[in-house]
């Protein structure tokens, strides 16, 4: 068996830049599965996410011999991370508090942004508008408890970062945010936002303009103080599954292109977390975004092999062991799938093996290990 010749981060960074690393890197989308692996209920995990929850994540990492970078902030996402750190405009339903102990954490979508809020976002910026108003529409925080919770978020993220680094592993990305189009869709709700796009789109552009400028600035500021230059953008809506390509170009790519170009000019590579089928949108990514300026993290709805064919060597691809395979399949099924992706998508490097979206909480232990092992034994 060949030996590893790169550090974890060197391996990840080489793949992100479109190169071959010593072996295929692996970075599962990981959080609450750490609790399952340790035999802890989801309720227990979320009730003490900053301590016992984090410990479960760390211990699982140690028990399986680790992997190449830690997705997310290094801690699980509970209400305060979804709402205060990520500023998701949605109600969070936490296991053990809002739902029974064995449930999955879920975000509840309803209309919490109203049509005139596009003007408020354009005027104040989304972050300020969210912190001043939206958070109180979706949670029971008071201005006082909000302040304390925010302090706690920062404290725990710093603690987690240190604990992971003690294990010689880095957080995968330095700065994370939501594609502006997706934020508005979540806050307005899918149907209302779609009606706005089709019947009264004027105000949307003003909001997107301001959100784009703010994200560029915040992403640059965060990356300036880090030697790891990967930022993160999530979008689960906007693909040609949801909308025609002209809407995607006008409301999505038009603004996202600015973000990617501004960040890439400062050496930052953007990891796109893209759920649903983006196949028809991929030529636009290739045409509009600079080579090696981004990573496509796909959820198994977009055919990964086809994505590689379309993108060629233009970008790194990350993914995409399907959630149902991890929970229902056998270790042999998972191994076979991973090795196929490594062969077909990672043939020339520029590939990171990962779960397609979140590693489900009912992932079989042997399947999680099979996914990690496939990468750890695939040398270039």
Partner 1 sequence: MSVNLAEAVEKLEKDSVMQEVQKRLDNGEDVLRILEECRNGMTVVGDKFQAGEAFLAELMLSGEIFKEVMKIIKPHMTQEASQEKKGTVIMATLQGDIHDLGKDIVVTLLEARGFEVHNLGVDVPVGALVEKVKEVKPDFVGFSSLLTPNIQVMKQTVDLLVENNLRDKLKVMIGGGITTDKAREFVGADFQTLDANEGVNYCVSVMEGN
Q: Does 330 bind partner 1 (CB under 8 A)?
A: no
In the complex, what is the shortest distance from the CB of residue 345 to partner 1, in angstroms, rounded to a whole number? 20
Residues 372 and 380: their CA atoms lie apart, in Å, by 16
Is 82 in contact with 90 (CB distance < 8 Å)? yes
Smallest distance from partner 1 to CB 327, Å: 4
Other Cβ atoms closer than 10 A to 154: 11
Q: Which stretch binds partner 1 (CB under 8 A): 44-52, 80-88, 105-113, 211-219?
A: 105-113
Taking the least distance from each CB to partner 1, the nearer of 69 and 326 is 326
Answer whether 317's CB lies under 8 Å from 305's CB. no
Residue 199 exposed, middle or buried by CB count within 10 Å (0-12, 13-18, 19+): exposed
Please tell me whether the peptide bond between 320 and the residue prior to it is cis, using omega within 30 degrees of 0. yes
Question: Which one, 124 or 328, has the nearer CB to partner 1?
Answer: 328
For residue 275, give every residue at least 6 positions away whose Cβ sits within 8 Å of its Cβ, in sequence order, or none.
Answer: 235, 236, 299, 301, 357
Using rule CB under 8 A, residue 199 touches partner 1? yes
- Per-residue H/E/C for 55-119: HHHHHHHHHCCCCCCECCCCCCCCHHHHHHHCCCCCEEECECCCECCCCCCEEECCCCCCCCHHH
* Number of other residues whose CB lies within 10 A of the CB of residue 192: 17
CB of 190 to partner 1, least distance (A): 6
Cβ proximity to partner 1, 14 vs 253, nearer residue: 253
Least distance to partner 1 from the beta carbon of 316, Å? Answer: 24
Nearest CB to partner 1, comparing residues 186 and 259: 186
Shortest approach of partner 1 to residue 333 CB, angstroms? 9
Cα–Cα distance, 323 to 309 (Å, whole number): 23
Distance CA 250, CA 197 (A): 10
Binding mask 129-168 for partner 1 (x = CB under 8 A): ----------------------------------------
Helix (H/G/I), strand (E/B), else coil: 294: strand
Taking CB under 8 A as the binding criterion, the range among 153-161, 204-212, 342-350, 355-363 that sits at the site for partner 1 is: 355-363
- For residue 250, state whether it binds partner 1 (rule: CB under 8 A): no
Q: How far is CA 215 from the centre of its chain?
A: 16
Contact call for residue 31 and partner 1 (CB under 8 A): no
**Piece in contact with partner 1 (CB under 8 A), picked from 64-72, 132-140, 189-197, 288-296:** 189-197
Site for partner 1 in 275-314 (CB under 8 A): 275, 301
41 binds partner 1 (CB under 8 A): no
Smallest gap, in angstroms, from Cβ of residue 375 to partner 1?
22
Q: Which is nearer to partner 1, 124 or 247 (CB)?
A: 247
By CB under 8 A, residue 377 contacts partner 1: no
25, 27, 28, 32: CA torsion to nearest 10 = 150
Task: Out of 112, 215, 223, 323, point to the residue binding partner 1 (CB under 8 A).
Answer: 323
Q: CB-based burial of residue 140 (10 Å sphere; 0-12 exposed, 13-18 middle, 19+ buried)?
A: exposed
User: Which parts of 201-240 interact with partner 1 (CB under 8 A)?
Assistant: 240
Q: Does 92 bind partner 1 (CB under 8 A)?
A: no
Task: Quickly count: other Cβ atoms within 10 Å of residue 132's Cβ.
Answer: 12
Of the residues 115, 136, 241, 380, which one makes contact with partner 1 according to CB under 8 A: 241
Contact 27, 33 (CB under 8 A): no
Report the C-alpha gap between 362 and 327 in whole angstroms.
5
Nearer to partner 1, 90 or 216 (CB): 90
**Which chain residues interact with partner 1 by CB under 8 A?**
93, 99, 102-104, 106, 108-109, 190-191, 194-195, 197-199, 240-244, 247, 275, 301, 322-324, 326-329, 360-362
């Amino acid at each position: 068996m060949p030996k590893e010749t790169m550090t974890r981060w060197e391996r990840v960074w080489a793949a992100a830049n479109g190169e071959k690393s010593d072996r295929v890197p692996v970075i599962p989308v990981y959080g609450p599965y750490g609790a399952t692996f340790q035999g802890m209920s989801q309720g227990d995990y979320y009730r003490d996410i900053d301590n016992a929850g984090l410990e479960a994540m760390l211990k699982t990492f140690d028990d399986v011999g680790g992997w190449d970078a830690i997705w997310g902030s290094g801690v699980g996402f509970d209400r305060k991370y979804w709402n205060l750190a990520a500023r998701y405009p949605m109600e969070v339903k936490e296991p053990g508090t809002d739902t029974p102990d064995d449930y999955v954490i879920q975000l509840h979508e309803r209309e919490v942004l109203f049509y005139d809020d596009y003007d408020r976002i354009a005027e104040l910026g989304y972050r300020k508008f969210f912190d001043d108003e939206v958070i109180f529409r979706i949670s029971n925080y008071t201005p006082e408890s909000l302040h304390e919770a925010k302090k706690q978020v920062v404290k725990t993220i710093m603690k987690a970062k240190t604990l992971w680094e003690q294990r010689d592993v880095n957080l995968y990305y330095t700065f994370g945010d939501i594609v502006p189009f997706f934020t508005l869709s979540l806050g307005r709700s899918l149907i209302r936002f779609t009606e706005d796009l089709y019947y009264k789109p004027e105000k949307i552009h003003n909001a997107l303009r301001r959100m784009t400028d703010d994200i560029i600035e915040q992403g640059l500021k965060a990356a300036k103080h880090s030697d790891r230059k990967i930022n993160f953008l999530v979008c689960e809506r906007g693909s040609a599954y949801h909308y025609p390509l002209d809407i995607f170009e006008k409301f999505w790519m038009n603004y996202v292109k600015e973000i990617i170009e501004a960040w890439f000019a400062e050496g930052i590579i953007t990891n796109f977390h893209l759920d649903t089928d983006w196949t028809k949108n991929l030529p636009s990514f290739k045409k509009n975004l600079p080579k090696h300026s981004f990573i496509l993290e796909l959820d198994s709805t977009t055919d990964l092999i086809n994505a590689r064919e379309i993108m060629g060597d233009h970008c790194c691809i990350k993914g995409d062991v399907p959630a149902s395979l991890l929970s229902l399949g056998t270790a042999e099924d998972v191994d076979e799938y991973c090795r196929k992706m490594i062969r077909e998508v990672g043939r020339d490097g520029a590939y990171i093996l990962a779960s397609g979206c979140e590693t489900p909480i009912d992932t079989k232990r042997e399947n999680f290990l099979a996914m990690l092992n496939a990468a750890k034994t695939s040398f270039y």
